Amino acid sequence: MKKKKILARFFRLRYKYTSQKNFVLILSAVVGLLAGLASVTIKNLTYSVASILEEGIIFSENQLYFILPFVGLLLVYLSKKVLLRNGLRPPIPSFIKRAIPSLLYSLLRQNGILSYKLIYHPLIMAPLTVGFGGSVGLLGPAITSGSAISSNLGRLLNVDSKTRTLLIACATSGAVASMFKTPIAAVVLAIELFSLDLTFVSLLPLLTASISSVLTSYFFLGDETIFSFDIVDKFVINDAAPYILLGLGTGIGSIYFTKIYFAVYSFFDRFKTPFLKVLVGGLTIGVMLYFIPPLYGEGLSFTKDLFEGNHLQALGETPFDDFIDNIWVVIALLIGFTIFKTIAMTVTFAAGGVGGVIIPTMVMGSALGNVVAKIINNLGLGIEVSEANFTLVGMAGLITGVIHAPLTAIFLIAEITGGYELFIPLMITVAISYLITKGSLEHTIYTRELAERGDLLTHDKDQNVLTTMTLESVIEKNFKTVHPDMTLGSMLHNCVSKSTRNLFPVIDDNDILVGIVLLDDIRKFMFDTTLYETMKVENFMHNPPEHIFFEKDNMKTVMQKFQDTAAWNLPVIKNGKYIGFVSKSKLLTAYRRKLINFTR
Mind listing the pLDDT tens digit of every residue in the chain (600 residues)? 676 777 777 777 777 788 888 899 999 999 999 999 999 999 999 999 988 887 665 544 445 667 889 999 999 999 998 888 777 888 877 777 777 888 888 877 788 889 999 999 999 999 999 999 899 999 999 999 999 999 999 998 888 888 888 899 999 999 999 998 989 999 999 888 877 665 656 789 999 999 999 999 988 888 777 766 677 677 788 888 999 999 999 999 999 999 999 999 999 999 989 999 999 999 999 889 888 888 888 888 898 889 888 888 888 877 777 778 889 999 999 999 999 999 999 999 999 999 999 999 999 999 999 999 999 999 888 888 989 889 999 999 999 999 999 999 999 988 887 667 888 999 999 999 999 999 898 888 888 888 777 776 665 566 666 677 788 889 999 999 999 999 989 999 989 888 888 999 999 999 999 999 999 888 888 888 888 888 999 998 999 999 999 988 888 889 899 989 989 999 999 999 999 999 988 888 888 777 666 555
Residues 6 or more apart whose CB falls under 8 angstroms from that of 366 comprise 302, 303, 306, 307, 391, 392, 394, 395
- The yes or no reply on domain 463-599 and CATH 3.40.630.30 is no
Between the alpha carbon of residue 260 and those of residues 74, 130, 307, 339, the distances in Å are 24, 21, 27, 9
Residues 6 or more apart whose CB falls under 8 angstroms from that of 22 comprise none
**Residue 486 in 3-state DSSP?**
coil
- Give the integer Cα–Cα distance in Å for 517 and 502: 8
Question: Do residues 560 and 534 lie in contact, with contact meaning Cβ atoms separated by under 8 Å?
Answer: no
- Give the integer Cα–Cα distance in Å for 47 and 66: 18
Question: Do residues 32 and 208 lie in contact, with contact meaning Cβ atoms separated by under 8 Å?
Answer: yes
Question: Do residues 578 and 475 lie in contact, with contact meaning Cβ atoms separated by under 8 Å?
Answer: no
Residues 6 or more apart whose CB falls under 8 angstroms from that of 333 comprise 315, 318, 320, 324
Q: Which residue in 337, 333, 343 sits closest to 259, CA to CA?
A: 343
Give 218-276 as a DSSP string. HHHHTT--S------SPP-GGGHHHHHHHHHHHHHHHHHHHHHHHHHHHHHTT-SSHHH
For residue 458, the Cα-to-chain-centroid distance in whole angstroms is: 12
Residues 6 or more apart whose CB falls under 8 angstroms from that of 397 comprise 246, 247, 249, 250, 251, 253, 254, 365, 368, 369, 409, 429, 430, 432, 433
Q: What pTM was computed for the model?
A: 0.82
Cα dihedral sign for 41, 44, 50, 51? negative
Question: Do residues 597 and 521 lie in contact, with contact meaning Cβ atoms separated by under 8 Å?
Answer: no
Residue 442: count other Cβ atoms within 10 Å of its Cβ: 11
- Give the integer Cα–Cα distance in Å for 223 and 207: 20
Backbone angles phi, psi at 576, to 5 degrees: 85, -5
Cα dihedral sign for 339, 313, 288, 179? negative
The dotted CATH code for 237-459 is 1.10.3080.10
Question: Do residues 260 and 410 lie in contact, with contact meaning Cβ atoms separated by under 8 Å?
Answer: no
The pLDDT value recorded for residue 362 is 93
Between the alpha carbon of residue 119 and those of residues 29, 42, 149, the distances in Å are 18, 11, 6
Strands 503-507 and 513-518: antiparallel
The pLDDT value recorded for residue 248 is 96
The pLDDT value recorded for residue 62 is 47
Residue 14: count other Cβ atoms within 10 Å of its Cβ: 15
- Give the integer Cα–Cα distance in Å for 505 and 503: 7
What is residue 509's DSSP assignment? T
Give all strands (DSSP E) within 250-407, no chain letters: none
Amino acid at 573: I
Residue 507: count other Cβ atoms within 10 Å of its Cβ: 18
Task: Please state the three-class secondary structure of 6-29 as a single string.
Answer: HHHHHHHHHHHHCCHHHHHHHHHH
Q: Which residue in 468, 471, 493 sits closest to 480, CA to CA?
A: 493
Same fold, 237-459 and 463-599: no
Domain ranges of the chain: 2-221, 237-459, 463-599
Residues 6 or more apart whose CB falls under 8 angstroms from that of 274 comprise 77, 352
Q: What's 2-221's CATH class?
A: mainly alpha
What is residue 487's DSSP assignment? B
Half-sphere exposure of 72 (CA within 13 A, CB side): 35
